[in-house]
């Protein structure tokens, strides 16, 4: 009989992570096994623990910024080999045939992608992860494993809208929420030539936000300094916040791009949308095209998250630290089975 897999699971909604064993499905011919070494801790893992979006299945093992080394490949896997260092993120499968998938935009697969940790799927907070080879990405040599992990979700999630909406030099970008996603958004936006303002509730983050590439730092309550200022705002806030006010921070024709995922409806004034032609858009992770491009871009430009490491066995303490907004700026969990 095969040895069970072991990891840290959420056994029921909102409960702390506990050691958990399960029998995996047999290795499919298009699957790989990854011996996991590192995992970024994304705020989404906490939303999933708490079933904030109604897509969690219990028990499940979170973790979707996964780095590790391949230990086994199915017979049909041609593009990866045992020993390869790979990353794994939010998406584990998609139809592969729709117009979006064939262009590498599996994040908007027309039949819906399969999430790594949705509906009871097991992610990276385990010793060995078994998953389809199709969504494993080779990590460029120029990126160390700690730095690579947060790029897989936080990185691609902000890279995609920046690539889409920052399409000329001198675009003025505001980043609201300087956490895991936000501190990478500053770096990517600055790297493509935007003038970046960090907008934060934490005055203590000013110097580091400027080190990441922000020209300006403004606290979120200084609305008079922010009015009529931006062509693009990337909002990464995970809890309730005021989108109506943030629309006033945009210039005419500006775009408010929401990537943070509180469980709230978005309310904005119709006059801003019609008379000032302002847009509210969202963006969901990134497909394989953006992922590969973002990893290369980060390696070449030297874009790295600022990380604090903790052992995976201390994942519950790491979650508490993140919820106290004390992470600077991404906690990376190092496997210690
Ligand atoms: P994080 O590291 O906790 O960062 C969030 C930041 O938002 C905090 O550091 C804080 O920055 C700010 N913030 C927190 N509460 C706030 C409040 N009440 N009002 C204003 N600002 C507040 O979280 P993360 O991992 O970056 O994730 C952020 C959000 O993005 C989560 O909701 C996550 O689920 C979502 N997400 C979405 C996607 C996608 O595809 N769309 C992908 C990944 C994650 P300051 O101290 O600077 O204020
Ligand atoms: Zn994430």
Measured N-to-C along each axis, helices 180-191 and 156-165 cross at an angle, to the nearest 10 degrees, of 40
Does the pLDDT of residue 10 top 70, yes or no?
A: yes
pLDDT score of 301:
95
pLDDT for residue 264:
83
Protein residue with its CA nearest to atom 44 in ligand 1: 44
In three-state secondary structure terms, 140 is coil
pLDDT at res. 306: 98
Go through 102-125 and write b for each residue having 16 or more CB atoms within 10 A of its CB, e for each that does not.
eeebbbbbeeebbbbbbeebbbbb
**Residue in the block written with tokens 């990866």:** 80
Per-residue pLDDT at 1 exceeds 90: no
Q: Is the pLDDT of residue 305 over 80?
A: yes
**If you take atom 22 of ligand 1, which residue's CA is the nearest one?**
237
Helix or strand (DSSP H, E) at 19: strand 17-22
pLDDT per residue as tens digits for the range 186-235:
999 999 999 999 999 999 999 999 999 999 999 999 999 999 999 999 99
Backbone φ/ψ region at 10: left (φ over 0), alpha (ψ -120 to 50), beta: beta
Mean pLDDT of 308-316: 98
Looking up tokens 């969990």 gives 333
Q: What is the pLDDT of residue 234?
A: 98
Q: For residue 42, report the distance from its CA to the centre of ligand 2, in Å.
A: 5
- What is the position in ligand 1's atom list of the atom closest to the CA of 286? 40
Q: How many CB atoms are closer than 10 A to CB 312?
A: 25
Q: What is the pLDDT of residues 240-276, one digit of tens each?
A: 999 999 999 999 999 999 999 998 889 999 999 999 9
Collapsed DSSP state (helix, strand, coil) of residue 35: strand
Residues with CB under 6 A from ligand 1: 42-44, 47, 153-154, 157, 177-182, 200-202, 205, 220, 236-239, 241, 259-261, 283-285, 322, 325, 327
- List, in sequence order, the alpha helices (H) in the chain: 43-49, 99-102, 145-150, 156-165, 180-191, 206-212, 223-226, 243-247, 270-274, 288-301, 315-323
Q: What pLDDT is recorded for position 79?
A: 96
**Residue from 179, 266, 281, 328 whose mutation best tests the ligand 1 pocket (most atoms within 8 A of CB):** 179
Q: List, in sequence order, every residue forming a beta bridge with 68; answer none if it has no partner.
A: 36, 86
Strand partners, 40: 332
Residue 172: partners with Cβ closer than 8 Å, 6 or more residues away: 194, 195, 197, 229, 230, 231, 232, 251
Residue 74 corresponds to which tokens in the numbers above? 């199915």
Share of the chain above pLDDT 90, in %: 97
- Residues 89-98, mean pLDDT to the nearest whole number: 98
Whole-model pTM? 0.98
- For 41-156, strand residue ranges (E) read 66-73, 85-88, 91-93, 114-115, 128-132, 136-138
Give the contacts of 144 (CB within 8 A, at least 6 positions apart): none
Q: Note whether 248 and 228 are within 8 A (CB).
A: yes
**Coil, helix or strand for 259?**
coil
- Tens of pLDDT along 111-148? 999 999 999 999 999 999 999 999 999 999 989 999 99
pLDDT at 130: 98
Pocket test residue of 238, 246, 285, 331 for ligand 1, highest count of atoms within 8 A of CB: 238
| 47-83 per-position pLDDT tens digit | 999 999 999 999 999 999 999 999 999 999 999 999 9
Q: Which atom from ligand 1 is nearest to the alpha carbon of 261?
A: 32
The residue whose CA is least distant from atom 7 of ligand 1 is 177
């Amino acid at each position: 009989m095969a040895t069970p897999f072991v990891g840290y699971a959420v056994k029921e909604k909102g409960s702390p992570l506990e050691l958990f064993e399960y029998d995996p499905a047999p290795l499919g011919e298009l699957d790989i096994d990854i011996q996991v070494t590192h995992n970024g801790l994304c705020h989404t893992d906490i939303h999933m623990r708490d079933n904030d979006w109604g897509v969690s299945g219990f028990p499940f093992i979170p973790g979707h910024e996964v780095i590790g080394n391949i230990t086994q490949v199915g017979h049909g896997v041609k593009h990866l080999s045992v020993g390869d260092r790979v990353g794994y993120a939010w998406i584990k499968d998609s139809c592969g045939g729709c117009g979006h998938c064939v262009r590498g935009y599996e994040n908007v697969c027309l039949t819906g992608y399969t999430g790594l940790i949705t509906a009871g799927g097991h992610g990276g907070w385990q010793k060995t992860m078994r998953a389809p080879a199709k969504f494993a990405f080779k990590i460029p040599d120029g990126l160390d494993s700690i730095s690579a992990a947060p790029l897989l979700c936080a990185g691609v999630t902000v890279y995609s809208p920046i690539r889409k909406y920052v399409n000329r030099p001198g675009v003025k970008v505001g980043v609201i929420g300087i956490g895991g996603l936000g501190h990478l958004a500053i770096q990517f936006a600055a790297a493509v030539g935007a003038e970046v303002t960090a907008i934060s509730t934490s005055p203590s983050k000013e110097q580091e936000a400027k080190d990441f590439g922000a020209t300006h730092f403004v606290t979120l309550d200084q609305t008079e300094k922010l009015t009529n200022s931006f062509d693009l705002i990337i909002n990464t806030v995970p809890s309730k916040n005021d989108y109506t006010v943030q629309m006033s921070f945009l210039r005419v024709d500006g775009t408010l791009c929401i990537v943070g995922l509180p469980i709230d409806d978005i309310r904005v004034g119709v006059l801003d949308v019609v008379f000032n032609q302002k847009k509210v858009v969202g963006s969901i992770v990134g497909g394989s095209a953006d992922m590969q491009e973002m990893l290369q871009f980060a390696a070449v430009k030297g874009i790295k998250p600022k990380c604090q490491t903790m052992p995976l066995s201390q994942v519950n303490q790491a979650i508490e630290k993140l919820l106290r907004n004390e992470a600077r700026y991404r906690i990376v969990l190092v496997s210690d089975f």
